[in-house]
Amino acid sequence: MKSIVCLHSLTPEQVGQIKQAAPGYDLIVKNKKELSAEQVQNAEVILGWSKTIVEDALLATSKLKWVQTWSAGVDTLPLERLRDKGVLLTSASGVHAIPISESIIGMMLSFSRQLHMAVRHQLKKEWKSDLSVPGLATLGEISGKTLVIVGVGEIGRETARLAKAFGMRVIGVRRSDQPEPHVDRMYTMDGLHEALGQGDYIVNILPLTAETRRIFNAAAWNATKEGAYFFNVGRGPTVDTDALMDALKSGRLSGAGLDVFEAEPLPADHPLWDMEQVIITPHVAGSNDRYTERVIDIFTENLKSYAQGQKPPRNLVDYGRMY
C-alpha cells in the first residue's frame, strides 16, 4: 500500500480528513524519533520535514515523490537533492497570513503609541507621560501614513487590507507589478529603493533566496525615508544586521520590530537587546492556535489532486526561485 508519513501530531478528526482525501493510502503519524528507516524509505508522501530523515528519504531507492512542508519557508530544506530526485515540494504558504499580519499591525501601533516604552517604564514602576525615545518620535498615529510592504504574497495582501482599514496608504514591492485590491501602487523589485523612500513604515516579508540575501543593506537604508520604522517578519538573512543597527543609531530609522534574525536564537550579548527603539519577538509572529488546522487544510486540498494523478494545486515550489 502507498504510504503517507506525517511527522506532526494530529487529532482523530485530522487523521480522518487525510484518509478521506486519499483512501488508498496508509497514514503513519509519528515523530521523527519514532520513525524507522524503513518507514521513511517507503513513504511516497511526507508531511513535515526533519534533518534526521534526509538520508533515508533521499536514497536512490526510496519511494518519495512529494513533500508537503509544515512551514511557509523552504530555504532550510535540501532543495537541490529534492529537485534532483524529482520530488514535488509544496509549502504551507498562506498559513501565516492572519497571525503575522496582526503582529505587523501590533508592532506599528506599539511604535506609534509608544507602548513598548510604556511597558519598559511599567517594569520600573515609573509614571512617565513622555514616552518618547530621546531624539526620536513621540506619540503619533498610523492613520494617513504610508506603509511599504516588500514581498506581497498571502501575508502582504492581508497586511495591506488591515492597513487600509487604519487609513494608511499602501505601496507594494514584489517580483510582479500586477495590482492588488488594497495596494495603492505596486513596484517590481527593481523599484525597491524608490518605494523605500516613500515609506513611514516598511515591512519585509521576503523569502530567502540568492537574490534577497542581505537585500536590506546600507544602500537600502540610505534610500529609506528618514525616520521610518522597519519590521522584519520574513527571513533574518535578508537583512544586513550591522547596517540595520547603524541606521537605527544614526536616526535614519526611528525604530525596528524584529521577529527573525541572521543568527537564531539572538545571542544574549547582542546589542539589539539594549536598543530602546527596537521590539524583539522570538520568531513567533506566525505562531497561533490554528496552525495545524490550516496546514492540514492546505495538505488535504493538495492530496485530493495528487491522489488523482495531478500535481498539487497549492504552493508548488519552483526550485529555480527557491519558493
Residue 279 C-beta-side C-alpha neighbours within 13 Å: 27
Strand order in the sheet with 88-90: 25-29, 2-6, 45-47, 66-68, 88-90
Contact 205, 149 (CB under 8 A): yes
Burial label, 233 (beta-carbon count in 10 A; 0-12, 13-18, 19+): buried
Quote the cell numbers at residue 10: 494530529
CA angle 225, 230, 233 (to 5 degrees): 145
Other CB atoms within 10 A of residue 103 CB: 23
Is 301 annotated as catalytic? no
Burial label, 165 (beta-carbon count in 10 A; 0-12, 13-18, 19+): exposed
The single residue of 81, 83, 264, 290 carrying the catalytic annotation is 264
Is 283 annotated as catalytic? yes
The single residue of 121, 175, 283, 294 carrying the catalytic annotation is 283
Q: Give φ, ψ of 278 to 5 degrees.
A: -125, 135
Interatomic CA distance for residues 72 and 315, integer angstroms: 9
Give which of 45, 50, 31, 57 is closest to 3, Cα–Cα.
45
The single residue of 96, 157, 174, 235 carrying the catalytic annotation is 235
Residues with a known catalytic role: 235, 264, 283
